[in-house]
Each structure stands twice: as structure tokens, then as C-alpha cells.
Chain A
Amino acid sequence: TMHKAFLAVVLGVAFVGSSFAQNLELPKLPYEYNALEPAIDEATMKVHHLGHHMAYLNTLNAALTTLRQNETTKHLAKMGIDKLLQHLSEVPAELKGPVRNGGGGFVNHVLFWNSMRPGGAILAESSTLGARIIQDFGSFQEFKDHFSAQALRLFGAGWAWLITHPADGFRLEVVTTPNQDTPAMEEGKVPLLGLDVWEHAYYLKYMNKRVDYVAAWWSVVDWEAVDARYRVAKGEPVAGAKAEL
């Protein structure tokens, strides 16, 4: 199951979205609710997954159900959520919000859970991503400082991301998005790592101290998963991964 979850995130949510005729399901976490302690507390993991992530999924499913029922919109329900988020302009006005917010919330959190693991995993300088981070940011520390600064600057609810631009030589970039928007709403931007800075992601343990949450989060980042995501984006072979669509 860990491997399937890994594939799901590496290939986008094709795994969970493969059956377009019925509702999507909430993927289980790849670890126990208390497994990311002390960086992220158990109570937060439970509410975040079963409360917030579930609610985004419910919103998305309701929107997909409506889209599916109409001849003129059912193609939108079949294209898969990643693609649908790039085609928001085609979604009827009254469903744009639910698709953007519920759909974005759904995919963002799948990526988020699958970018962390108990105790984290380090990024080897010799790895594909490790080498590119040094090339694009000067050093891993400079990248971390930049990412953290962006995560702290974001006003209100949103996310900080490490993304790659396949069409620009797989250049890396740190960006932020508001609410549940994802950089993947724009073709040509592939999210590799995301950090949720909505207050619900940290408030029970850290309250207003987002800085402490961000600092602690680095210790649970699964850099092996993030590096694998980058290598898949580049078309490099990833051990054990099979194309599953």
C-alpha cells in the first residue's frame, strides 16, 4: 500500500481518480496519525486528514457528480482532477469554486501526506534533485531559507511549493499559492513538494508561531519521495515504479 501511495503521488492522482464513474475516495495516510510527532501533532493529523481533507473531497465529489449528470459537462468529470484544474474556464460558473477549492484541496493534501514520512528522509547531494537544488539555489541551506521565507511571508491561507518547469530545462522554483490553488493549475508547472500554511495545519500545537511549525516540518520531509517525483517528471527510471493509469 505504501508503494501504491508512492506511485499515486509520483504519477499524480491517477491511482485514486481512475474510476471516473464513481466518487473518489479519501486515500489513507501512509503512516499512523502520531507518526510525524513531535513536528506535527497527532490531533492535527487527525482533524487535517479526516476533517479538512475529507471535506475537500466531499466538495469535489459533489461537483463531479453534477458535471457527470449533464451531457455538456460530463467530459469534464472524465478528464481526471489534475487536468480539470487546468480547464477551470470550461467549468460552469456555479461549480468553478467547488472544483477549484475542493479539487485543489484534494490533490494538494494527497501530495502533502506523501511528501512526509516519520523521521523524514535526507536529500543526497548526488541525487538528481539534490544536485539541481545546489545548481539552482546555491546550496541546500539557501534553498531551505528561501522556501521558509516564502512560507512565512504568505498572508492568509495558502501553500508554499517547490516546483519544476519541464519546458524550461526542469528548472526549479519556489512559489506560493493562495487558498487551495495549486501551481499545477497552469500547464508546465509540476509541484514536487508542498507545505500547507493554512492555520489549521499548525494551530493546535504552534498557535500563531508559524515560524516554529515551518522549522519543525523540515525534519519530516521525505526527500526520497520528492526526488522520485522529480525524476519521474524528467522521464528518468524510478526503482519499482510502473506506469499505472
Chain B
Amino acid sequence: ALRGRHHQEHPRTQMAHALPSLTYDYAALEPFVDATTMNIHHTKHHQAYINNLNTALDKHSELKSLSLEELNIKVTTLPEDVRTAIRNNGGGHWNHTMFWKWMAPVGSVNHAPIGSLKAAIDKDFGSFDVLKEKFNAAAAARFGSGWAWLGVKEDGSLGITSTPNQDNPMMDGVADVKMTPILGLDVWEHAYYLKYQNRRADYLASWWNIVNFDTVVELYDAQAKK
């Protein structure tokens, strides 16, 4: 009986956060996102957020039982000595984990909305083209570093917003518009500078070619069920 309890881990106890693998090669999103950017973005930037997140969590091991999503949602309630580090790096880890899933090689997935998501987009925006215009406008208007988001608001309708740095719309008390993100675009300069330099608008236009709408639809349908 004692041995049984010994081996019974707390179900939420986690290993340290680790870099998730991509499901495609670094070059697979060419020519829209270049291979070098994908490599550095994944192995350096995303890895750094994970390393810093783990360091912050080591200072408060009681937080290790929270999921990454919970750490993001509850960021304003976290202990003050790690709050900013977890906001920046827990936000960065979540945002990038999803970002890799929001992209896929051309032709390997749906690159436009289908099903009930398509219906919701047509209802809330008029058309996919209008959605893209508004999303791109939010992405272009984000000054400095940040992200643009398509999400499901608390009333179930779709919304578009942008957040600074590594914030996201799940963060209670932080985001202007609280939403569950179903699509996000990194507009930190590191996401596009090697290929596009200051031409963020060209990056935005290119990126839609590789958006993985299968992931977006999955996230939307999961939210719609709630």
C-alpha cells in the first residue's frame, strides 16, 4: 500500500516545460515564411521563453501544477516576484506553441474557413475577405512588438484584437478584449524581419497562404460546444 502511494504522482505534477516539435520542416512554409526565420524563431526565441518560464516556476513550485493555459488566464493573480516573468514567458510559450499549429505547408490543410466557422465568419464579418482585412489592420496597427488575434468572445461571437509583447486575450485583467484565441499572428519583428524587413504588410499578405484552418476550425468548434 505504501509503495502504491509512493508511485502515485499528483496528476498535475509536470516535468519542466519543453519545446514542442514542429510537424513540418523549417523550410516547409517557404516562400511565405523563410526557413532561417522558422529555425531561429523555434530553436532560439520560443526556447528562450520556455527556459525563462521554467526558471520562474522553479521559484514557486506550487505553480507547477497549473496548466500553461491556466498560468496565462490567471497571470494577474500570480505572486508578484514572478508575475511579469510568467506573463512574458508563459505568454510567449503558449503563443508560440499555438503559432506553429496555426501554420502548415501549402496544400496540406484547408487554408480557408469551412463549416460552422465559415458561417460564423460570414455572420460576424460579412466574408472571409473582410475578416482578413480587419485582422491585417489590427496586425498593422500594433506598434512595437505583439500579436494579432481572432477569437471567440464571451458572448460566443467572433472578435479581432491585438495585444502587446507576449500578452494574449486569455489573460484576465490584462487584455482589452477577453477572448479565447482561435488564430494568432506574431508581429514581433523577429517573426518576419529576415525576409520582409520593415515591410510588415507584405508579411501579413503572405502569411494567409499558409494558415492552417483545420486547427482554427477545431478550436472554434471546441469553443462553440462550451
Binding site for B on A (CB under 8 A): 47, 51-52, 55, 97, 101, 155-158, 178-180, 198-200, 203-204, 207-208
Contacts and interface: CB of A to CB of B under 8 A. Distances in A.
A178 B144 contact: yes
Given A51-B198, A200-B189, 5 more contacts: A157-B144, A199-B189, A204-B193, A207-B194, A208-B48
A208 B190 contact: yes
Contacts of A204: 193-194, 197
B88 A199 contact: no
B165 A47 contact: no
Nearest to B84: A155
A195 to B, nearest CB: 16
A155 B189 contact: no
Interface of B: 40, 44-45, 48, 88, 143-146, 164-166, 188-190, 193-194, 197-198
Nearest to B36: A207
Nearest to B41: A208
A203 B198 contact: no
Contacts of B164: 156
Given A208-B44, A208-B45, A101 B197 contact: no
A156 B48 contact: no
Contacts of A51: 197-198
A179 B143 contact: yes
A52 B197 CA distance: 10
Contact of A179 (B40, B144, B188, B193): B144
Contacts of B44: 207-208
A156 B165 contact: yes
B165 A97 contact: no
B11 to A, nearest CB: 33
Nearest to B199: A51
A106 to B, nearest CB: 14
Contacts of B145: 156-157, 199
A178 B194 CA distance: 23
A208 B193 CA distance: 11
B132 to A, nearest CB: 23
Contacts of B193: 199-200, 203-204
Contacts of A199: 145, 188-190, 193
Nearest to B45: A208
25 contacts: A47-B198, A52-B198, A55-B198, A155-B88, A155-B165, A156-B144, A156-B145, A157-B145, A157-B189, A158-B144, A178-B144, A179-B143, A199-B145, A199-B189, A199-B190, A200-B193, A200-B198, A203-B190, A203-B193, A203-B194, A204-B193, A204-B197, A207-B190, A208-B45, A208-B48
Task: Give 5 nearest A-B pairs by CB, closest first.
Answer: A199-B189, A157-B144, A51-B198, A156-B145, A179-B144
A89 to B, nearest CB: 19
